[in-house]
Amino acid sequence: MAARIIDGKAIAAEVRERVKAEAAEFAAGAGRPAALATVLVGDDPASQIYIRKKREACEEAGIRSIHHGLEAATSENELLELVGHLGLDSEVDGILVQLPVPEQIDPDRVIAAIDPAKDVDGLTPTNAGRLAQGMPALVSCTPVGVMELLRHEGVELDGAEAVVVGRSKLVGVPVARLLLAANATVTVCHSRTRDLASVCRRAEVLVAAVGVPRLLGADAVRPGAVVIDVGVNRTADGLQGDVDFEAVSELAAAITPVPGGVGPMTIAMLLANTLAAARSRL
Ligand code: NAP
């Protein structure tokens, strides 16, 4: 195997240690800990696990976790009211509404109601627009985590050919915007892209955020590329990324594993975003 394995777990642990120290400084200065409010509507088991992990990570970092668990039958208005109330609460620095929400609720309306200064998922139109215009913004955690991995690995982005596969609001588009801001030449691919493999082969930095197990094989990777696999796909063979790890690690320079690559970075960057939101509200 030629590629260096990018150890997201270890890099996330470093970020979490850093946030923990800075959260203690914040608490000493502000007279209260930074606080993240999480909201979960319904009892989807996967969402419950995600929320539990986020809450545990907060406690470990010295960030107060305030959780609101709402019944699956909660109306959109009730949720909007809670989100509005959290926006006004001076002791709440970050607001995270766990998606997906039940079908009677329009997620876009709920997200738009989050105070942009507390939008630690970076999903409000205000933060997405600020990012698009190159202004300071809270940016969603997974894309910031991808950039932190690249920074940690010392990957030169200035002038580099970067290809992002996926154009979601949560991952693909913000990753592409962050790479562009770092002066990479960025191509964004999606389900209508013709000859995906040949476009991907241009990439010195390839980011896969698709949700199709092992979509990108050796034919989609330029020898010596850095490959970041955001995909998390549950298959009969266990968790799989969007990249064929065995084949691609023969020719890439560096690659993230699944699990243990991008995943751990997402929670670490949520903590970092919450602290950043808390500081900017001082
Ligand atoms: P999403 O909203 O479903 O977006 C998927 C994107 O992939 C879309 O832009 C879609 O194109 C594109 N796509 C689908 N099939 C394709 C194909 N055959 N060829 C090329 N492009 C294709 O998903 P997401 O929320 O961005 O998540 C992507 C993956 O990342 C998922 O596996 C998810 O579980 C994972 N994820 C991981 C983390 C983490 O912390 N590790 C966080 C978030 C997401 P169209 O726009 O044309 O439909």
- Cβ(233) – ligand 1 distance below 6 Å: yes
pLDDT tens for 210-233 read 999 999 999 999 999 999 999 999
- Cβ(175) – ligand 1 distance below 6 Å: no
- Cβ(232) – ligand 1 distance below 6 Å: yes
Q: What is the pTM of this model?
A: 0.97
Q: Is residue 1 predicted with pLDDT exceeding 70?
A: no
d(CA 249, CA 261): 14
How remote is the CA of residue 204 from the centroid of ligand 1, in Å?
20
User: Is-contact 262 230, C-beta < 8 A?
Assistant: yes
Please give the number of the atom of ligand 1 that sits closest to the Cα of 263: 41
Mean pLDDT of 42-69: 97
Q: How buried is residue 246: exposed, middle or buried, by Cβ count under 10 Å (0-12/13-18/19+)?
A: exposed
Give the active site residue among 98, 118, 119, 240: 98
- Cβ(266) – ligand 1 distance below 6 Å: yes
| Cis peptide leading into residue 259 (ω within 30°) | yes
Contacts of 157 (CB under 8 A, 6+ apart): 150, 179, 182, 183, 184, 205
Mean pLDDT of 61-75: 98
Ligand 1 pocket test, pick from 230, 239, 243 with the greatest ligand atom count within 8 Å of Cβ, gives: 230
- pLDDT value, residue 27: 98
pLDDT tens for 72-121 read 999 999 999 999 999 999 999 999 999 999 999 999 999 999 999 999 99
20 catalytic? Reply is: no
